[in-house]
Chain A
């Protein structure tokens, strides 16, 4: 089962690569996504543990949150693919479709890996398959974005490997890269603490680079700004989720060794810094896709902040992982539609989106309210839970900073978003006249519906799974 989850998307990638028909090929992506989603649902419903290769691959409490999330987000994005490629007729998309499915396979592998080496290989492969996705537009700007993404990403990946070695070294003479072994050694206080500390810092920087935490976020605005909208959604909702899951695994080892406090201080500091950096760069941001990138930096900060505070905030952080990924899907797809309708992605060329593309404009506006934590959307509940957790932990200074930064981001982001959606449409529609259609707004509408539901009601099954995952991460049980 665990193997099938990783291999199925790869098979569909192969089919997309081989299939000669350019008309049918875009439909392979939603087909592959559907099969993956069905496999994930089966795996979750299965009574027995999902494992392979003597525990190297396993679906644990954390994976039970992250894997369905990634699968649902990818499925929504995949439904956008046929409509998107119809607009971009003439572009060669053989590699694009194949790379999308391979991207899904690698995300699955990162989440299932319980061997740090295997997880690292999957992360590197994920970075490599995302290069052609970023470079899809084949122009100077996308080339620059791809170069920065590869170079900064590769350095982050190299550090991640170095950190994994440090972690294995800390367990000498019982060196291992299997997470269960490391957690067991940590419980027995058999890990060398100086190595463990060094390993955590290096791993935090390495995987934090892939997550896009400040100050390692510099690739993000360029990559998200130049990538096609659905690729932005997959990076901001999928890849970052996987990198966060990886970080949680190292945190789990630290917690098991009784060294959680050390890791938490680092996470609180970097979390607040990421929110602050996002707040500064979002103010008067003219490019609304780059604005979304800074919003992603902000939310990555919120995620690590929640884990850093721990307790109820850690639970809130895991809930926020879901809300953030789904909301990012809504915003990136709406932004892509607006970009298409104006052939511009800055507020200098775009206004009155609510009139020219009413549904996409409304989705963009709703997405903005959702992502900034306004009721009745899901992120409000999760951000409020994190805030309650911070106050419960008695960290009033952190709580105040958290609230102020959320407000700064709301104001900064609001200026750009309102300029995009309000007013009268600027200029004439570009040739071909992009209009909202079921294919281009349907997937975002579905995701928004889920975000609204999560805002008013967290299903008991999900609530239980989240509590399990939070306990799993914190106590290393």
Chain B
């Protein structure tokens, strides 16, 4: 494992907090794009020596997580003509604090898990768990459909980092399948957002509340 791994993971963790603390949707999308690109780099550096497969996989991750999906989200944002996350269910300060608690909990929890010799002393597992929890937090506390998709991306990023710990065990077929599935999932959600936009003349998921007990 290269020495660049831990600094990259620290950057990924910092981006979690940036996304949690910002009210500007554009900034949140950009931060998730940067996080995606960093994860692409991480894919290359997790291996001690550069090899063909991780480089291809990393490039695909940068292209999809860093460029394609954020591009689609920006487009949806422009179509909907909205800029800010107004009135999240909890304040930005509270989400930052909860994010800090989640990160602390992730580190403590990872400490209790028996890690493989390669991953001991590395941030890989705690960073993954913390990013997953952050994604959850964003998904459950924001109103805008686009922010919820950003939350889902962060969640997926955390899971991808966990997947990197298993690089040798997972055939590339599955990895590409995962990237492809993510793409399709966002694609479908994007189409739905467009329909929400047309039908509701806004992009506020909180308006989706006709169906309840």
Contacts and interface: CB of A to CB of B under 8 A. Distances in A.
Contacts of B81: none
A124 B181 CA distance: 7
Contacts of B52: none
Contacts of A125: 181
Interface of B is mostly: helix
B192 A195 contact: no
Contacts of B173: 117
A397 interface: no
Contact of B174 (A118, A148, A169): A118
A121 interface: yes
Interface string A277-309: 000010000000000000000000000000000
Given A124-B185, A168-B166, A177-B174, A194 B114 contact: yes
Contacts, number: 106
Interface residues of B, number: 42
Interface of B: 112-114, 116, 132, 136, 139, 145, 148, 152, 155-156, 158-159, 162-163, 165-166, 168-171, 173-174, 177-178, 181, 184-185, 188-189, 192, 195-196, 199-200, 205, 208-211, 213
Contacts of B196: 143, 147
Contact of B208 (A117, A144, A161, A175): A144
A148 B165 CA distance: 32
B211 A143 contact: no
Given A117-B177, A140-B199, A146 B166 contact: no
Contacts of A192: 113-114
Interface of A: 115, 117-118, 121, 124-125, 128, 131, 140-141, 143-148, 150-151, 154-155, 158, 161-162, 165-166, 168-169, 172-173, 175-177, 192, 194-195, 198, 221-222, 225-226, 281
B131 to A, nearest CB: 11
Contact of B192 (A147, A161, A198): A147
A155 B139 contact: yes
A225 B211 contact: yes
B152 A143 contact: no
B207 to A, nearest CB: 9
A155 B152 contact: yes
The 8 closest A-B pairs by CB, nearest first: A175-B169, A117-B174, A222-B211, A144-B208, A172-B116, A121-B177, A165-B162, A124-B181
A216 to B, nearest CB: 13
Contact of A128 (B139, B145, B185, B213): B185
Contacts of B139: 151, 155
B159 to A, nearest CB: 5
A117 B169 CA distance: 11
B210 A144 contact: yes
Nearest to B189: A150
Nearest to B139: A155
A124 B156 CA distance: 13
Contacts of B210: 140-141, 144
A198 B156 CA distance: 18
